[in-house]
Amino acid sequence: VITVTTILAPDCAQCFDPVVLTRSLSSNTRLKITAERRVEAQSEEGQALVKDLKITQVPAVLIEGQIERALTAAEFLKNYGSTASDGRFVASLLPPPYLEIGSGAVRGLFEATYLADASCQDCYDVTKHRSAMSGLGLVPATETTIDRNDAAGKNLIKQYGVESVPTLLLKGDLGVYPR
């Protein structure tokens, strides 16, 4: 028997969607989720949970109940947080983007620039990196495709010392992503 409480980031459409985690838990046949709740971080209850559990980023997911019965789930969850002194599991280390409580800043936003060569028929499609990034949990806030022969493309080649195209350029708050 398990209760799941999701603490949501206010006004953060680009933040990681914790439904991914709760769906994963729901699909585990060894776990029986009996209740799911959603709480806004800025609500009175949300603020109390953030303070009491020392949560530094939202969204976060609180899991109460007999999670230790599903050892694989418990091991999986260790990657996302820790157990509070009252026994609740606090999944507060969810993937970026997230809202940093202390600063109020959304962390993990970045832009992807696909530098292509439209005149090269044998070159691979640089935008295929999109699915590879998605598989790694990297979803750019903005995406742009620029041809190497355009003025902007030539500028990027010079600015970053690009030696071959197609290439992918990432810029932004990438330091918060696991390496």
Residue-wise pLDDT tens digits, 123-140? 999 989 999 998 888 889
Given a cut of 60, whether residue 21 has pLDDT beyond it is yes
pLDDT (0 to 100) of residue 77: 63
pLDDT (0 to 100) of residue 66: 74
Mean pLDDT estimate for the chain = 88
47 or 80, higher pLDDT: 47
pLDDT class of 69 with cuts at 50, 70, 90:
low
pLDDT (0 to 100) of residue 76: 60
pLDDT (0 to 100) of residue 98: 95
Residue-wise pLDDT tens digits, 93-108? 888 999 999 999 999 9
% residues pLDDT > 70 (the chain): 93
DSSP assignment of the chain: -EEEEEEEPTT-TTS--THHHHHHHHT-TT--EEEEEEEETTSHHHHHHHHHTT--EESEEEEEE-GGGSHHHHHHHHTT-EE-TTS-EEE--PPSSEEETTT-PEE--EEEEEEE-TT-SSS--GGGHHHHHHHTT---SEEEEEETTSHHHHHHHHHHT--SSSEEEEEES-TTS--
157 or 67, higher pLDDT: 157
Given a cut of 70, whether residue 158 has pLDDT beyond it is yes
Task: Give the mean model confidence (pLDDT) for residues 104-113.
Answer: 96
